[in-house]
Amino acid sequence: MFEFQKFSQTDPSWKGTLLGFDSESTIGGYGCLLTCVTMAATGFGFGETPASLNEQLKALGPNQGFMSAMLVWGGIAKALPGVAVRRLVDCDNAPAPLADIDAALAAGFPVIVEVDYSNQPGYQYHWIVLYGKKDGDYLFQDPYPYPPPAQEALLGQSRYAHRGGLDRIITGAAFLEGPIKKPAPGAPQPAVGAPAPAAGAASGIRLYSIEGDVALRSTPTVTPNNLIKRFPRSTELTSLESDSATRGKAGVVGQWLQVRDASGAQGYVAAWYVSTSKQAPVSPPPAGAASGALMVQTTTPDVALRSQPVLSNQTLVKRMPFNSKLVVLEPAADAARKVGVVNQWLKVRDSTGTEGVVAAWYVSVLPATG
């Protein structure tokens, strides 16, 4: 179970502090996500408070840690070195990925989830932290009440359960990874350099890292002192486990695989960051943009490119990695006013020539070059 320090966004020490670069919104009124990230940060060994993390993110500069009062997911890794937002899931119009949430919690990581805090018409978003599971339900910490609730609370029995089952209560999920202060109960802890438990003959299956900075570790857990090296995206690795184990684990959250790289270095990689098929490399910035065209880049992982400005499975064209560069296919002046604004959309083209629309609140403007 993930262990962390509990905070409230309405703590008098910071509830009146302006959130990000906004001139009106305060931590007490709108800082639920900031407070959730702060709680997660304490579980990863950081001594932050909502007020101090607010300043850390602001220090990154406009549109880097905050877009006005909106936290930029990509800024978390810059403000909290070693912490990464590995996956963002929009599940307002689809069942929440409960199996993936279960696996992340079992691995000792928190999951920050979005819920609707009122049964009134419309959608009133709020963020909470899932930190464990009990009796088939999720243990969660609500960042709003002050003082922070000390007793355990189950999501399925909470005020947020008005939408239905767990897969409907959760409307969005952010999967965080970082150096766990205390290994998850039951996690294997072999000595450094010890071979993996026998699982049949090594398969020699080729694996490929599907993200940048994938870690090779001496033990199958995340700690500050077991990092051997990091791999760029599409690095080829050789599995040292059996065929069935390799194919059964690759891509699965909470699983680890023992591998060897081309230099002969051996260790463990998080299986959810490797694939048995080679991913297409990230392409260079889109070329051929008209003179004066606005360029933007994604500020979080897995930003959706859609066929039309509607959040649904039917409109999804593809998902793009963090820092993907896009050409805006609208007049630059009009588009610039939309960037960072919730419920605004931009027509764009990516580096492969694929066109669609992207949520303007998940991109930032790239500085002009030349």
What's the confidence (pLDDT) of residue 222? 67
- What average pLDDT does the segment 6-22 reach? 95
Total domains in the fold of the chain:
3
Share of the chain above pLDDT 90, in %: 36
- What average pLDDT does the segment 162-179 reach? 91
Share of the chain above pLDDT 70, in %: 83
Please say if the pLDDT value at position 194 is more than 60: no
82-96, 201-215, 332-346: least confidently modelled range: 201-215
Which long-range contacts does 131-139 make (Cβ < 8 Å, 24+ apart)?
Answer: 131/1, 131/2, 131/3, 131/4, 131/43, 131/105, 132/1, 132/2, 132/105, 133/102, 133/105, 133/106, 137/166, 138/101, 138/105, 138/166, 139/1
34-48, 231-245, 297-311: least confidently modelled range: 297-311
Please check whether residues 154 and 245 belong to one and the same domain: no
Please check whether residues 55 and 169 belong to one and the same domain: yes
Determine, yes or no, domain membership for 284: no
Identify the residue with better confidence: 194 or 138: 138
Please check whether residues 268 and 304 belong to one and the same domain: no
Please check whether residues 118 and 221 belong to one and the same domain: no
> Which of the listed residues 158, 177, 196 is the one where a domain comes to its end?
177
Domain of residue 139, CATH code: 3.90.70.10
Q: Are 355 and 83 in contact (CB under 8 A)?
A: no
Q: Helix, strand, coil: what percent of the chain each, to 5? A: 20, 25, 55
Please say if the pLDDT value at position 238 is more than 60: yes
What's the confidence (pLDDT) of residue 147? 93
Domain of residue 212, CATH code: 2.30.30.40
Per the omega criterion (within 30 degrees of 0), is the bond before 147 cis?
Answer: yes
Determine, yes or no, domain membership for 290: no
Local confidence band at 77 (pLDDT 50, 70, 90 cut-offs): confident
Local confidence band at 187 (pLDDT 50, 70, 90 cut-offs): very low
- What average pLDDT does the segment 71-96 reach? 87
What is the pTM assigned to this prediction? 0.57
Sheet holding 345-349, edge to edge: 316-320, 303-306, 355-359, 345-349, 325-328, 295-298, 363-365
Determine, yes or no, domain membership for 92: yes
Q: Is residue 121 exposed (0-12), middle (13-18) or buried (19+ Cβ within 10 Å)? A: exposed
Determine, yes or no, domain membership for 112: yes
Tens digit of each residue's pLDDT (9 = 90 or more) over 281-339: 444 445 444 446 788 888 766 678 888 887 776 788 887 777 788 999 988 888 888 88
Range of the domain at 260: 206-275
Tens digit of each residue's pLDDT (9 = 90 or more) over 129-142: 999 999 999 999 99
What's the confidence (pLDDT) of residue 301? 64
Determine, yes or no, domain membership for 239: yes
Local confidence band at 193 (pLDDT 50, 70, 90 cut-offs): very low
What's the confidence (pLDDT) of residue 358? 92
Identify the residue with better confidence: 361 or 110: 110
Q: Are 115 and 128 in contact (CB under 8 A)?
A: yes
Please check whether residues 360 and 318 belong to one and the same domain: yes
Please check whether residues 55 and 118 belong to one and the same domain: yes
Determine, yes or no, domain membership for 10: no
